[in-house]
Amino acid sequence: MSLKNYFAIILLISVTSCTSQKNKIFDFIIAFGSCNNQFLVNNLWNEIDKHQPNIFIWGGDVIYSDTDSPEIMAKNYDILLQNESYKMFRKKYEILGTWDDHDYGQNDGGLNYPMKDQSQELFLDFLEVPDNDQRRAQKGIYFSEQYLVQDKIIKVIILDTRYFRSDLKKSSDQKKRYVPAKGGTMLGEKQWEWLANELNNSNADFHVIMSSVQVWSNQHGFETWGNMPDEVKKLDLLLSSSKAKNIILLSGDRHISEISAKNIQGMNYPVIDFTSSGMTHAYTSFTGEPNPYRLGEVVFQNSFGILQFDLDKNEVLMEIRGENNELLQSHSQSYPK
């Protein structure tokens, strides 16, 4: 090898190394979103692609298909699968997800939706879940996945807040659809046992839990964990007693995006509920609603969520971004090491 070629190679390695270090701001990136109507313009996939996420998580309402017909639902999934932007996106990235009511098949639907088993198969087909996956044999689409990043583990836990969920108590107030009531279940007994096991026996350094409906915001009168206060207390107790490290909640459903934080007794950091909702259509006429846990402002335009992990600092930068990749809001959270 000539001296000239030797120095050229050294220079190339040096430049590549510097570029790699410059671009390696974050160790792991999660993108997520919800409320995606297959008949509307899907114009956020290219914007999400700019962040080169390690995974994308559907937060529910992947399509809009309120129906009792498996054939109609299958066609609606196919419309999204044939969308050129999404088709290119899914070739590049690992995609996980849960459903909400409109891809489940019934507005605000829960335990008593008659087509839920067929709907489950169609949803798993959409995500290309293998035939030998546990989700193909169980009732409900809950599952978890772990990612080893350097010497740390990020665990993603996907909840099913539809298949087992009890009926909600309707409100007599025309401004609110539901009111809190005692009793009922959000996850069902078996999924609760599974979630407890996932947290109690975990050695992960971060736990990202996806719930299609909001967990902390509880005063708006629409679907929320807050409609079942006993279930919220049960979740609080599990999160604190399990000692699972660094828990982050994700949610969708609302056609607004916001970041909420709750201090739970026994936990030495606030538990974030990061809501990202409205990929194709948002609640643009939003004028306000109470949320005692809200950080910052509500975003009511089409958007997606980004979580960026700095594992050396144990920090997560959470961003709400919209069309043209516009940064609409951000929050940085430090976690115990």
Whether 12 has a pLDDT exceeding 70, the answer reads no
Q: List pLDDT tens digits, range 58-113.
A: 999 999 999 999 999 999 999 999 999 999 999 999 999 999 999 999 999 999 99
User: How large is the average pLDDT for residues 244-255?
Assistant: 98
Query: Which parts of the chain fold into alpha helices (H)?
Result: 3-23, 45-49, 70-81, 84-92, 101-104, 116-126, 189-200, 229-242
Whether 10 has a pLDDT exceeding 50, the answer reads no
Identify any residues that bridge with 29 across adjacent strands, giving them in sequence order: 308
> Domains of the chain, with CATH numbers?
27-334 (3.60.21.70)
Whether 3 has a pLDDT exceeding 80, the answer reads no
User: How large is the average pLDDT for residues 224-236?
Assistant: 98
Q: How confident is the model at residue 24 (pLDDT cuts 50, 70, 90)?
A: low
User: How large is the average pLDDT for residues 186-190?
Assistant: 98
pLDDT of res. 167: 98
pLDDT of res. 219: 97
DSSP state string for 195-253: HHHHHHT---SEEEEE-SS-SS--SSSSS-GGGSHHHHHHHHHHHHHH--SSEEEEE--
Whether 188 has a pLDDT exceeding 70, the answer reads yes
16 to 28, 36, 74, 138: CA distances (angstroms):
20, 38, 46, 47
CA 123, 126, 127, 129 dihedral sign is positive
Lowest mean pLDDT among 5-19, 200-214, 219-233, 303-317: 5-19
Whether 227 has a pLDDT exceeding 50, the answer reads yes
pLDDT of res. 80: 98
Whether 15 has a pLDDT exceeding 90, the answer reads no
Q: Burial-class residue 289 by CB neighbours within 10 Å (0-12, 13-18, 19+).
A: middle
Q: Structure pTM? A: 0.93
Question: Mean pLDDT, the chain, as a whole number?
Answer: 93
pLDDT of res. 18: 32
Whether 9 has a pLDDT exceeding 70, the answer reads no
Identify any residues that bridge with 96 across adjacent strands, giving them in sequence order: 57
* Local structure of 4: helix, strand or coil: helix
For the chain, percent of residues with pLDDT exceeding 90: 92
User: How large is the average pLDDT for residues 41-55?
Assistant: 97
pLDDT of res. 14: 33
Q: How confident is the model at residue 21 (pLDDT cuts 50, 70, 90)?
A: very low
pLDDT of res. 309: 98
User: How large is the average pLDDT for residues 215-234?
Assistant: 98
CA distance 12 to 79: 45
Report the Cα 164 to chain-centroid distance in Å: 19
Whether 22 has a pLDDT exceeding 60, the answer reads no
User: How large is the average pLDDT for residues 178-194?
Assistant: 98
pLDDT of res. 5: 39
User: How large is the average pLDDT for residues 115-140?
Assistant: 98
Q: List pLDDT tens digits, range 254-307.
A: 999 999 999 999 999 999 999 999 999 999 999 999 999 999 999 999 999 999
User: How large is the average pLDDT for residues 166-177?
Assistant: 95
